[in-house]
Amino acid sequence: MTCKLHVRHAIYMKTLQIRNVPDAMHRKLKERALRSGVSLSEFVLNELREVSELLTPAEFSRRMQSREPPELPLDSVATLRAERSSRS
């Protein structure tokens, strides 16, 4: 049963090969993986997972443009003065 689940899961997995990784970068990533207690592949996959969840500048801009502008007090100066006077 476990083998069938593993094979079924593997169908949806892809392999990614990264070439020309500088020695210093490889060493640093390997050290971080070791300190995290995971393999280099697992460490890099986790990093890629985080990066893939970040919005690109274009995605961020579209998201911000699709939002309604916040409702702000019309007279911000009066609001600030009232807040300051309430502290005195």
**pLDDT tens, position by position, 19-63:** 999 999 999 999 999 999 999 999 999 999 999 999 999 999 999
Residue 87 lies inside a defined structural domain of this protein: no
Residue 8 pLDDT > 90: no
In a domain, 73, yes or no: no
Range of the domain at 54: 20-67
What confidence tier does 10 reach under pLDDT thresholds 50, 70, 90?
A: low
**Angle CA(54)–CA(57)–CA(58) in degrees, nearest 5?**
110
Per the domain annotation, does 13 fall within a domain? no
User: Does residue 29 form part of some domain?
Assistant: yes
**What is the rounded CA–CA span in Å between residue 39 and residue 81?**
58
Question: What's the rounded Cα separation, in Å, for the pair 57 and 63?
Answer: 10
In this structure, are residues 44 and 29 in contact, taking their beta carbons and an 8 Å threshold? Answer: yes
Statement: the pTM of the whole predicted model exceeds 0.85: no
User: Looking at residue 26, what is its pLDDT?
Assistant: 98
Asked whether residue 50 is domain-assigned, the answer is yes
The total of structural domains in the chain comes to 1
Q: Are 39 and 30 in contact (CB under 8 A)?
A: no
Q: Is residue 58 part of a domain?
A: yes
- Residue identified by tokens 């309604």 is 68
Cβ-based neighbours of 16, under 8 Å, separated by 6 or more: 48
Residue 49 maps to a domain = yes
